[in-house]
Structure 1
Amino acid sequence: MPGLTYRKGGAVSLVQDQDIFLHVTDLHVSSSICRGSRYLPQIIDVSEDATEITLGGELKRSASNTHGQEEGENREGMLVMLTHLHGLAEQRMQELGLHKISVLGVWYAIAYCERDQYGSAKDELKAWFEKWYATSIERFELDIDSARGLAFPCQLFDHALAFARVTKWLAYNHVGYVKQRPPKGFKGHRGFHPPPGEFVGPVNHARSGLKTTLHKSLYKKCGHLLRYKTSDCECWAPTVGHCFAALTKIECFPVEDIISYTSVSQILSRLSTFKYDYIPACQNCRAMEWEVVVLKAKSNTEKYFDGLCLDCMDRMDGRWDTNCRIKHNQSTWYVSWLGKPNVREKIMRGPDGYDEEEY
């Protein structure tokens, strides 16, 4: 993905008068800041030279991983965490290239911040994440790895527009069941366990809704003819047969089979190539504009899901289309409502605190 590479170079200094040289690789940091960390003092105290410490790297070979150090720290994530410990300005972080790091670096930044100050990542890194997203992701095309990797941080930092974009992309472009996946190379560490992806169930529900909408829209006209018009003429069978044949030829029908190995976006793209060349014998069958039917099915499916709405995921009352940070339709509200089990449970339970249907 363009814009996500991180430049390699010499040592980076976060302070003018550095007094600790930290090898992640090669970062100059302040001793007072390090002492204020929950994680670093125990490493400094056991180091032979308290002005020069190593995180990762040699630990694998020396088998000296006895003080909580991780075996191979991620430089991007560590640098983001340290700059926030130092309280550096946005301009300085931009100079250090921290708005152009990889998605993997974002996950490690969250992990290191949680390790150093438990529960602080959501607040401490929010402003930086929004700037990073605007710089590195907003103008670039998503792919499967980046979209799956972005869903968790977008929800963690309450970035409504980004979360909607990523979850919509997954619903339309993922092939098969959507799962939460950390970026390739993320090994995690003790004390940090990403929560189960609340987006997974709703996005898969949305994908199922897209399949249903597409199938109904493609079949509706044919179904009406098969139910009510077969006694009107003798050309109904080839009329319907040629429609199904044309859809099958471009690998768009039957939807239930095709979608098991094809994304919704791929199917919609193929529908644009649909052509109906058969000329029925009777006037009624000739009046059925199958190209229009197919284009309408394509349009209905494209409009079905606008991405998960973070506001609707937390809302328990009021109108579904009120005070949301993204514009969306009612089906998007319903899918989003499925995203928070605790919220959904409160809505489903009756006034006495139980599900009335159970009794």
Structure 2
Amino acid sequence: MLVNRDSLASLPYFAAMLRPNTWSESQPGTRTITVHEDHPVAMELLLRGLHDTLPDLSASTTSTTLTNVTIKDIWYTVLLSDKYLLDRDPLSAWVSSWTQAELKEPRQSQRGDKLQLEQELLFPAYAFDCAKEFQIVTRKLVYHGKGHLVERNPVEVRQLHLPARVCQQLNASRGRLRTILHTSLFEAVASLVSIGDCPCKELAVFEYLRELKRIEVWPLEDVMKDASISDILERLDDFDQKNMRRLKDEEFDGSRFCACSRSWAVVVNQAKKRVAEYFDGLCLDCMDKTKNLGEGGDQDDDYWHYWKRYSRYDSKCRIMHGQPTWYFSFMGRREKGGLVAGLEDEK
């Protein structure tokens, strides 16, 4: 691959190699640099990003094109960018386009595990600062994942992984959805048990639970072991109040309002809607605000600033999201040596 000598020399690694010395690459007339250990496709992507020629890949006559770059190539590109101290921002837009193409159903359906691609995309989307794609991937994992949510590393380089807090927050988000679903489905039942005084309350509670059992939503704690949030929301579509028995008319005189006569289908639909719209995925901008200090910033001021109330929780973010995304995107920082600032130094 042809490269510009001056552009290459902007990287400290190659600058040391090209400046006048005894290395063969620095000798007059030398036009070839051989890098034996680096991944070839990742190196091409890295150099194209350096020379601003990544858009040319769509019409490339070489073996590397947008459609045949693999997820492993992208991971190795992260590795090489770190090795050569190259800013990844010039590659961000191209990786974003590649990720969008990769997430399309025809290409994704070729994989065995339905969420394998999303698990493998977590780290590259984070590393290349692809805000929209990171939001899409994290939201899908939270709603469609079963059990403990983790990332996947498709390459044999153990140093490449997300900060541990990211997967922790994904699992916390899923746990919160489970709590909201449980509350939304059963707060009416709790009210009926607490203050209900009609003769049909026992039957209403039993029939409601029986119908939820029929569609495999209850008991929720057991169901969640083998089902995703999305699975449960789909099952709620099968809820049919007509299957719930009621007391005979002569056993209920209708002289006063009965909480059991509510529309249980409405309760279920409202629960489904609330859960489905709750979480928008993690926000890289909110994450960045809580894990990095700006130049001249103060760790304690930055901490309290994050918890201020905002008119919009996605203010100055590249994606639109609500309060839950803002909340679960809090990454925090490594704690100070002492509990109180400066206290450790005074001892």
Tell me if both proteins adopt one fold, taking TM over 0.5 as the criterion: yes
Query: 1:12-67 deviations in whole A, cap 9, x for unaligned?
Result: xx33xxxxxxxxxxxxx78998898748979x969xxx979684xxxxxxxxxxxx
Report what 1:145 is aligned to: 116
Q: What are the equivalent positions in structure 2 for 1:1-359 lying under 5 Å apart? A: 14-15=1-2, 38=13, 55=36, 69=37, 73=39, 75-84=40-49, 87=51, 89-96=53-60, 97-100=64-67, 101-115=69-83, 117-118=84-85, 120-137=86-103, 143-183=114-154, 186-188=155-157, 193-229=160-196, 231-233=197-199, 235-276=200-241, 277-281=243-247, 282=252, 283=254, 284=258, 287-313=261-287, 314=289, 316=302, 317=305, 318=308, 319=310, 320-337=313-330, 339-342=331-334, 352=341
2:121–2:137 contact (8 Å) kept in structure 1: yes
Query: 1:230-256 deviations in whole A, cap 9, x for unaligned?
Result: x321x2222111111111121111211
RMSD across aligned positions (CA): 3.4
Equivalents in 1 of 2:239, 2:193: separation in Å?
21
Q: Normalising by structure 1, report the TM-score.
A: 0.70
Letter in 2 for 1:107: W
2:78–2:127 contact (8 Å) kept in structure 1: no
Pairwise CA distance, 1:309:
1.6
Structure 1 vs Structure 2: percent identity of aligned residues?
27
2:147–2:226 contact (8 Å) kept in structure 1: yes
Equivalents in 2 of 1:326, 1:88: separation in Å?
26
Query: 1:273-296 deviations in whole A, cap 9, x for unaligned?
Result: 111222322452552211111111
Structure 1 stretch 266-275 or stretch 101-110: which is displaced more? 101-110
Equivalents in 2 of 1:327, 1:30: separation in Å?
40
Pairwise CA distance, 1:91:
3.7
Closer, same or farther: CA 45–255 of 1 in aligned 2, 3 Å? farther
Residue 158 of structure 1 aligns to a residue whose secondary structure is coil
Letter in 1 for 2:156: K
Equivalents in 2 of 1:294, 1:222: separation in Å?
12
Closer, same or farther: CA 141–323 of 1 in aligned 2, 3 Å? farther
Equivalents in 2 of 1:220, 1:265: separation in Å?
21
2:282–2:328 contact (8 Å) kept in structure 1: yes
2:153–2:160 contact (8 Å) kept in structure 1: no
Structure 1 stretch 127-136 or stretch 302-311: which is displaced more? 127-136
Equivalents in 1 of 2:151, 2:238: separation in Å?
34
Q: Normalising by structure 2, report the TM-score.
A: 0.73
Alignment gaps of 5+ in structure 1: 1-13, 16-28, 56-68, 355-359
Pairwise CA distance, 1:180:
2.4
